[in-house]
Structure 1
Amino acid sequence: MTSPTTPRAVTRADVARYAGVSTSVVSYVVHDGPRPVAAETAARVRDAIRVLGYRPNASAQALRTGSSKMLGLIVPELDNPLWSEVAIAVEQAAADRGYDVLISSSDGDVALERDRMRSLSARQVDGLIVTSIMTRPDLSTVVDPGLPMVLLNTFFEVPEFASTGVDARRGAFDGTAHLAGHGYSSIGLVIGHAGSDTDLREQGWQDALREHGVQDGPIVRTEFSRAGGYTAGLRMFGSANRPRAVFVSSDMQAVGVLRALYELGLSAPTDVAIVSFDGTAEADFTNPQLTAVRQPIDAMAAGAVDRVLGRVAGEQWHRDLVPAELVLGASCGCDVRR
């Protein structure tokens, strides 16, 4: 049996002949420039595109221009509200600058993170933005050295790589100091597992306790998840010597802590005052609403996109540090009734 002949792909020249215009005019209509096209002519070209089923060849365009108009983004996971908000913010910032984004998740795995970087690099993206699961990632051997790359939401400076991150130490200090300002004499800490470096949020918590003369409360290290916060809450508040307040290193952990308190017959802020870190939309819909140290995700995403596109003056391997904002809810004991 003879196989059917594969239909020839519709070309820009086909569209031009159908519409009675030059191929350059078709290009101007498809790419919205660089030269203007009369409305009637543009409508004729678009009608030809629709009738013929023309699809511009992005790969060919990239070869001609040297740009794919595409950025790569790697996040640790997409079911965490923080990383979802980061992905949306990067996508919007890139779109505002005429770029699309290929988003990939490392699923919290170091080896997979490196594979994702190699894969996106091979797709000829114009730049790569990485939210690494490693505190101080060694990225020198995993990407094309000529590919612009920016690390987003890193707490520490990574030599020879541009990075954008929140001032986590100061943010944690402000959140803990706010609890101390309420007069709570014991402030605990729920935080992720310790790595080779002390987490900057833990350092900020300690700084605030020292400055306000408050003794260190208990520390529980757990996963950055709702389940991790739930387990930590049961451990920290299931005994009689529980702290009166707690700083929690992520909103998702704080949601788990709130559930643990409920199951223990306790409530926030009556029995335990809470301040969390991240300030995602999730923090706005807990009961009570979480007081949170909010990361400026939109500003960080825009800065990372501008940095990877080379639109920021200054040294190439620069670290942009942005301040966090304390957003008051009722979980800390503030009266925020409106």
Structure 2
Amino acid sequence: MPDLSASARPVVTRKDVARLAGVSTAVVSYVVNGGPKNVAPATQEKVRQAITALGYRPNVTARALKMGSSRILGMVVPKISSPFFASLAQAVEQAAEQEGYAMLLGDSRDSLTVERRHLSNFADRQVDGVFLCSVVNHRPEVSELDGRGIRTVLLNFSEYPLEVDAIGPEFVGSSRRAVEHLASHGHRDIALVQGFVTGNTLDGREFGWREALKGMGASEGRIFRCSFDRAGGYDAGRRFLALTERPTAVFITSDEQAVGFLRALHEAGLRVPEDVAVMSFDGSEESEFSWPPLSTVRQPVQQMAEAGVRAIIGTGRDEPPRTQVFDCELVLRRSCGCDEP
């Protein structure tokens, strides 16, 4: 019995398409690549019909070498299971797709070693650009990409001016406003649940929390450091509950952590916001459907994604690298003491 697997089928070439359509291979190339020469509509239709009949698939790698563009972008995130990074990756993919680009996604699993392996892999594949949400919050290493002429955009990153494009939220000021809002409800003892940060620098959200406390004339608050996920937030909540005298409000550096923190409070029978007020950061869809609904700092995900795509393949690709910082929105719900809007 003959082997009918895909690997055993003969490879359809551009010559086969040209022969069936009754045109030259150059004309087939013009139709497939959208130029550089125009082809009459009737002839284009004949070529497309031949492509469909034969199941022709262009050699993307060969075309990339010839045209100097793979029309593929890479993106690395610390954890794709995170609601925030999942929504950011989706927004970037949609913005890139509108420009005719496909996207490869790498999950670094919060590992700098894995992150660098993904970047090296993207460089070997000759992608046209890379979006990096690094586990490092100060000057991630992207020299291999730069050395190969691959433009890099750091996303969710707005702390420092760099030699590469950086796009992110206004972490410090947005966090300060969130803590000040908790203070407007009468809270003076406001704790911080802070995700672990790779490197020796403080996270911008922690800076904002500290600035707010200083402006209130409050003493230094308590910090519960944990992983940037639900389990980390739950662990922080358990440690918070073990205190003899607990703060009356908490600012949490991600919605995902806040969900875990809320579970710990619920298990202990504490009411939110009556016993403990909670404010988080990110503005993911999860914040709206937690109980109670989370008051949060909403990042402008769509705007950041579109700005990143412009920096690599749009109007900004010929401009020098720059840092773009986007304002965030306070979304006030039940968890901080505000009613639903």
User: With structure 2 as the length reference, what TM-score do the two structures score?
Assistant: 0.90
Q: Which residue of 2 aligns with 1:305?
A: 309
Shift of 1:28: 4.5
For this pair of structures, how many residues does the alignment match?
335
Shift of 1:270: 1.6
Shift of 1:86: 1.5
After superposition, residues 1-338 of structure 1 pair within 5 angstroms as: 8-31=10-33, 41-139=43-141, 141-145=143-147, 146-157=149-160, 159-193=162-196, 195-309=199-313, 311-312=315-316, 316-336=320-340
- Do the aligned partners of residues 310 and 92 (structure 1) sit closer, same or farther apart at CA in structure 2, a change above 3 Å counting? closer
Which deviations, in whole Å up to 9, do the C-alpha atoms of 1:97-155 show, x marking residues without a partner?
22111111111111111111111001011111111101114415433412211211114
More moved, 156-165 vs 297-306? 156-165
Q: d(CA) in 1 for partners of 2:280 and 2:31? A: 50
Shift of 1:174: 1.3
Q: d(CA) in 2 for partners of 1:7 and 1:314? A: 44
- How many percent of aligned residue pairs carry the same amino acid? 44
Q: d(CA) in 2 for partners of 1:35 and 1:261? A: 66
Which deviations, in whole Å up to 9, do the C-alpha atoms of 1:267-291 show, x marking residues without a partner?
2112111110011111111011111
RMSD: 2.4
Contact 1:114 1:142 in 2 (8 A): no
Contact 2:158 2:324 in 1 (8 A): no
Unaligned 5+ runs, structure 2: none
Q: d(CA) in 2 for partners of 1:62 and 1:152? A: 26
- Do the aligned partners of residues 254 and 138 (structure 1) sit closer, same or farther apart at CA in structure 2, a change above 3 Å counting? closer
- Do the aligned partners of residues 159 and 251 (structure 1) sit closer, same or farther apart at CA in structure 2, a change above 3 Å counting? same
Report the secondary structure of 2:221's partner residue.
strand
Unaligned 5+ runs, structure 1: none
Q: d(CA) in 2 for partners of 1:283 and 1:25? A: 53
1:64 maps to amino acid: K
- Do the aligned partners of residues 125 and 223 (structure 1) sit closer, same or farther apart at CA in structure 2, a change above 3 Å counting? same
Contact 1:148 1:309 in 2 (8 A): no
Shift of 1:333: 0.6
Shift of 1:53: 1.5
1:99 maps to amino acid: Y
Report the secondary structure of 2:334's partner residue.
coil
Q: d(CA) in 1 for partners of 2:88 and 2:248? A: 33
Shift of 1:47: 2.6
Contact 1:117 1:143 in 2 (8 A): yes
- Do the aligned partners of residues 100 and 119 (structure 1) sit closer, same or farther apart at CA in structure 2, a change above 3 Å counting? same
More moved, 70-79 vs 15-24? 15-24
Shift of 1:184: 1.5
- Do the aligned partners of residues 314 and 27 (structure 1) sit closer, same or farther apart at CA in structure 2, a change above 3 Å counting? closer
Shift of 1:185: 2.4
Contact 1:121 1:144 in 2 (8 A): no
Q: d(CA) in 2 for partners of 1:210 and 1:34? A: 62
Shift of 1:216: 3.7
Contact 1:71 1:100 in 2 (8 A): yes
Q: d(CA) in 2 for partners of 1:88 and 1:246? A: 30
